[in-house]
Amino acid sequence: MATQRPLKRKQGAGECRECNSFCDKLVDPSGCIAMGCRYLYSYADEASGSSYMGCLQRVFGAEIDLELFEEAEAGKGFGGIKMQGPPLPHCQFSVERSYESDGPGYECTNKRFFDCSETGPEGIRVFDLRNALD
């Protein structure tokens, strides 16, 4: 009888599973509003009478009910949403760890995960001056 291997789930743009900490990138929609991000959109749904906002670049995939967002912002704040796509250079995001512990299994092996993406429509390639010195 053959043994089955566990299925590996593909890692999304907003998550890192390279160590036991399991990190997720969270984007703050209130930061998108504050900076006047040109990729933030809103619309009114005539059927429900509600208004929603979202990201044209799909940095976050959810469409947020504006009334509920404003209620949350008036209190403790809406908070972050897990990123679905790579962040743009101007996106305000934080990284949240699911598990905190000590030991080699919890040491970060993907420090670039804390940076913005270098790819995509507005990606910035980091250049190294050493390349020009050769």
Angle (CA) 75-80-73 rounded to 5° is 20
pLDDT tens for 100-110 read 888 888 888 88
Q: Judge whether residue 86 has pLDDT over 60.
A: yes
pLDDT over 90 at 74, yes or no: yes
Arithmetic mean of pLDDT, 74-79: 92
Number of folded domains that form the chain: 1
Tokens representing residue 77 in the block:
């704040």
Q: What tokens appear for 7 in the block?
A: 């299925």
Name the residue range of residue 31's domain. 15-129
Domain annotation covers residue 75: yes
Residue 16, judged by CB atoms within 10 A of its CB (0-12, 13-18, 19+), counts as: buried
Residue 134 inside a domain? The answer is: no
Residues above pLDDT 70, as percent of the chain: 78
The separation between the first and the last C-alpha atoms of the chain, rounded to the nearest angstrom, is 58
